[in-house]
Structure formats: C-alpha cells, structure tokens
Amino acid sequence: MKELDLLLVRYLRECWPAATAAQRQLFEDFLELPDPQILAYLVAGETTTDPALQALIADLQAGRTRP
C-alpha cells in the first residue's frame, strides 16, 4: 500500500540514521507484523498496550525519532 510505503520510507530516510540500536530493533520487529496489523496501527489509529511500540507508531506517523 502506497500510504504505508511513504510513512516507512520517510522514517527510514529521516529517522533511521539517528535511531538507537533499540529503536532500530523495535522498527525491525514492527516490520515483522502482518501488513493488515501495520495498516491498522499506522492508518486506522489502532493502539497497543506496549508503550515502546506505541511510541514507535507515533514516531512513524510523525516521521520523527525520539532521543
């Protein structure tokens, strides 16, 4: 899906270089989720009880990384 690609590529281009090892691992783990779940998180606004994952989702949506 084009919208997902745009969000993920923007994160990789703008945030990946400054991401910590833990942030990179979380992102890689996130990409292992089924595409419909990724879509639900990033586009449909579904939330998770995992605070680290929820922070990553917010960062992906905003195109930023946390220090």
For every residue of 15-52, DSSP letters joined together read: TGGG--HHHHHHHHHHHTS-HHHHHHHHTS----S-HH
The helix/strand/coil state of 1 is: coil
Segment 3-11 shows an average pLDDT of 83
Residue 4 pLDDT exceeds 70: yes
Residue 66 pLDDT exceeds 60: no
Asked if 8 and 16 count as a contact pair (C-beta separation under 8 A), the reply is no
Residue 34 pLDDT exceeds 90: yes
Does the pTM surpass 0.85? The reply is no
